[in-house]
């Protein structure tokens, strides 16, 4: 579904990615691991063309370099940015409606109800401003909003950041379930390697703007270097 080859990306004159290669197949959960500053967030931003890129990014066989962010979103890529990017001045419900902005079918209401059932906390706060939610609630809202677009590919940027361990667990359980029941393809960038590898099929390790290691989740879990650097034992 997503093929990235020799990806270079830069913020102004400063190049951050120097050749990143990976691919995500339909129905997979793929995780990208890496330390701070390795270029994980930049990789996701590059996929959505939020920064200047070189190299090839193919989505469903079509090159998407140089397209606008809006257009890529309309092709079924939902991005949950780091820091969540919720629309703080809008109510929870309006956030979800904005998530479904690109949809033309009549099942938007049904989907809102579905995510309200999945995340009951959001239902309780449906008329509150998103800015008044707690960090965990905002993360749920960001995920639910991304899923409102019925994406083909979900990009998650550090969904565990700043959340209590219990919330992180339930969130990742949700991701695993969506992948299994709905066949949702997910690319997740995480520092919390343990939990990310639990739900992932395959993983990549990013170091200083380059992919240095790849394998199935199990292979990586048992790789000595990965274990020392990211799993902490």
Partner 1 sequence: MSTTQSVNESIGKGYAALGRLGQKRIISIGALVAVLAAFSVIVAVQHGFTLFLQRIFDGLSNGFIYAAMAMALVLIYKATTVVNFAQGEMAMFGTFIAYVFGHSLGIPTPLAIILAMLASALGAAGIERVLIRPFDPRNHLAVTIVTLGLFLILNSLAGVIWAYDNRAFPSPFPGRNRSFSVFGANLEWANLFTWLTVLAAVLLVSLLLSRTKIGLAFRSVSNSLESSELLGIHIGRTLQFGWALAAAVGTLAGTMIARTTLLEPNFMGRVLIYSFAAATLGGLDSLGGAVVAGIVIGLVQTMSGGYIGFIGSDLAPTVALVVIVGVLLVRPSGLFGSKRVERV
The residue from 35, 97, 178, 229 that contacts partner 1 (CB under 8 A) is: 97
According to the binding rule CB under 8 A, does residue 68 interact with partner 1? yes
Closest to 82 (Cα-Cα) out of 32, 125, 50, 44: 44
Positions 77 through 96 that interact with partner 1 (CB under 8 A) = 78-79, 81, 85-90, 94
Residue 69 to residue 123: CA distance in whole angstroms: 30
Q: How many residues bind partner 1 (CB under 8 A)?
A: 25
Letters for 191-230 (x = contact with partner 1 by CB under 8 A, - = none) are: ----------------------------------------
Residue 156 to residue 31: CA distance in whole angstroms: 9
Alpha helices in 10-125 (DSSP H): 40-47, 69-74, 92-99, 108-118, 120-124
Nearer to partner 1, 95 or 211 (CB): 95
What the block records as the tokens of 29 is 């959960």
Closest to 80 (Cα-Cα) out of 18, 160, 8: 160
Stretch binding partner 1 (CB under 8 A), from 7-15, 66-74, 206-214, 224-232:
66-74
The residue from 66, 101, 225, 228 that contacts partner 1 (CB under 8 A) is: 101
- Sign, CA dihedral 171-175-181-184, equals positive
Site for partner 1, rule CB under 8 A: 48, 50, 68-71, 73-74, 78-79, 81, 85-90, 94, 97-99, 101-102, 145, 149
């Amino acid at each position: 579904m997503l093929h990235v080859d020799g990806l270079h990306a830069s913020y102004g004159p400063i190049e951050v990615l120097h050749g990143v290669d990976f691919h995500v197949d339909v129905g997979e959960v793929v995780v990208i691991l890496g330390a701070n500053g390795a270029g994980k967030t930049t990789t996701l931003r590059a996929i959505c063309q939020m920064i200047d890129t070189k190299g090839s990014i193919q989505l469903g066989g079509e090159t998407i370099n140089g397209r606008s962010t809006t257009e890529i979103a309309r092709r079924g890529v939902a991005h949950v940015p780091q820091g969540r990017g919720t629309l703080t001045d809008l109510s929870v419900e309006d956030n979800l409606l904005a998530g479904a902005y690109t949809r033309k079918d009549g099942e938007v209401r049904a989907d809102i109800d579905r995510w309200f059932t999945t995340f009951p906390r959001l239902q309780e706060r449906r008329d509150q401003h998103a800015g008044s939610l707690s960090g965990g609630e905002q993360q749920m809202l960001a995920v639910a909003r991304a899923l409102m677009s019925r994406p083909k590919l979900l990009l998650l940027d550090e969904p565990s950041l700043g959340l209590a361990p219990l919330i992180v667990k339930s969130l990742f359980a949700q991701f695993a379930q969506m992948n299994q029941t709905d066949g949702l393809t997910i690319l997740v960038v995480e520092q919390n390697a343990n939990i990310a590898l639990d739900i992932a099929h395959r993983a990549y390790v990013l170091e200083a703007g380059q992919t240095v290691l790849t394998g199935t989740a199990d292979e990586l879990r048992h790789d000595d270097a990965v274990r020392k650097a990211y799993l902490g034992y």
